[in-house]
């Protein structure tokens, strides 16, 4: 089996296992892990062009995890604001 095919098969297997493992996670964990996975893929792709796939994937995973966490915090803030506004609107009706 060519080396490239082996890497692709390993990446697909890891992605499948990662998705299956998200079933019992809360939204914060799921978004952080999704960001880390996407960042690792992007970082690995960029790193392969520069000659160091591993470091690119590692740095990408860290940046992606931070981005996923920040995205989750933004979504939670939006949800709290919506809930607060909905409750205030419900209380002001006669």
- Residue 11 in domain: no
Determine, yes or no, domain membership for 83. yes
Q: How many whole angstroms separate alpha carbon 91 and alpha carbon 89? A: 5
On whether residue 5 sits in a domain, the answer given is no
Q: Is 93 helix (H, G, I), strand (E, B) or coil?
A: coil
**What is the DSSP-derived secondary structure letter of residue 58?**
H
pLDDT at 82: 94
Task: Answer yes or no: pTM beyond 0.85.
Answer: no
SS3 53: helix
Is residue 19 assigned to a domain? no
Q: How many domains does the chain have?
A: 1
The half-sphere exposure of 8 on its side-chain side, counting CA atoms within 13 A, is 5
Per-residue pLDDT tens, the chain, 94 aa: give them. 566 666 767 777 777 666 666 667 888 888 888 888 888 888 888 888 888 878 888 888 899 999 999 999 999 999 999 999 998 888 876 6
Question: Is 6 a domain residue?
Answer: no
In a domain, 1, yes or no: no
Whether residue 51 is contained in a domain is answered as yes
Assigned domain for 4 exists: no
Sign of the Cα torsion 46, 47, 49, 50 reads positive
């Amino acid at each position: 089996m060519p080396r490239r095919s082996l890497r692709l098969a390993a990446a697909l297997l890891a992605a499948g296992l990662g998705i299956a493992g998200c079933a019992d996670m809360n939204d914060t964990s799921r978004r952080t892990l999704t960001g880390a996975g996407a960042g690792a893929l992007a970082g690995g792709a960029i790193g392969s062009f520069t000659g160091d796939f591993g470091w690119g994937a590692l740095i990408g995973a860290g940046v992606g995890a931070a981005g996923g966490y920040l995205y989750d915090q933004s979504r939670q803030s939006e949800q709290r604001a919506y809930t607060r506004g909905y409750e205030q609107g419900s209380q002001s009706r006669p």
